[in-house]
């Protein structure tokens, strides 16, 4: 079955530390890749997406992600986190054609300490 794995469930960092959150998906072929963020009490927001082209994707708020096809990975990075980045982060994938529904990972809760 198609699945998405996020191996870091809870990450605690100090402000200015660098961030990398892992995301792997189970099945090859044509994929569209997304990272969403959910701040406490708020809607899901799209951070960035990859459909094709340059595998290094830049998103909002200084986030970026790199698509590595050979590793089925789409890791999220930020060079220097801020307290305001405290949130839950979800990786999501859609595969080729068909239902086009996002399949989400289990999420990573990021806590940034001042």
Partner 1 sequence: DGGITQSPKYLFRKEGQNVTLSCEQNLNHDAMYWYRQDPGQGLRLIYYSQIVNDFQKGDIAEGYSVSREKKESFPLTVTSAQKNPTAFYLCASRMGDPGYTFGSGTRLTVV
Piece of the chain touching partner 1 by CB under 8 A; list 13-21, 44-52, 65-73, 76-84 = 44-52
Residue 70: partners with Cβ closer than 8 Å, 6 or more residues away: none
- Torsion from C-alpha of 102, 61, 79, 77, nearest 10 degrees: 0
Rule CB under 8 A: say whether 44 interacts with partner 1.
yes
> Among 1-9, 11-19, 56-64, 73-81, which window interacts with partner 1 (CB under 8 A)?
1-9
Give the x-and-dash track for 15-34 against partner 1 (CB under 8 A): -----------------x-x
CB of 1 to partner 1, least distance (A): 8
Nearer to partner 1, 81 or 92 (CB): 92
Q: Is 77 in the site for partner 1 (CB under 8 A)?
A: no
Contact positions toward partner 1, by CB under 8 A?
Answer: 4, 6, 9, 32, 34, 43-44, 46, 49, 51, 90, 92, 94, 99-107
């Amino acid at each position: 079955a198609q699945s998405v794995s996020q191996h870091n469930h809870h990450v605690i960092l100090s402000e200015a530390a660098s961030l990398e959150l892992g995301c792997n998906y189970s099945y090859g072929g044509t994929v569209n890749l997304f990272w969403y963020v959910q701040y406490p009490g708020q809607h899901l927001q799209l951070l960035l997406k990859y459909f094709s082209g340059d595998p290094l994707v830049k998103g909002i708020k200084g986030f970026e992600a790199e698509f590595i096809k050979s590793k089925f990975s789409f890791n999220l990075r930020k060079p220097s986190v801020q307290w305001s980045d405290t949130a839950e982060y979800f990786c999501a994938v859609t595969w080729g054609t068909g239902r086009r529904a996002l399949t989400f990972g289990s999420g990573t809760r990021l806590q940034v300490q001042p």
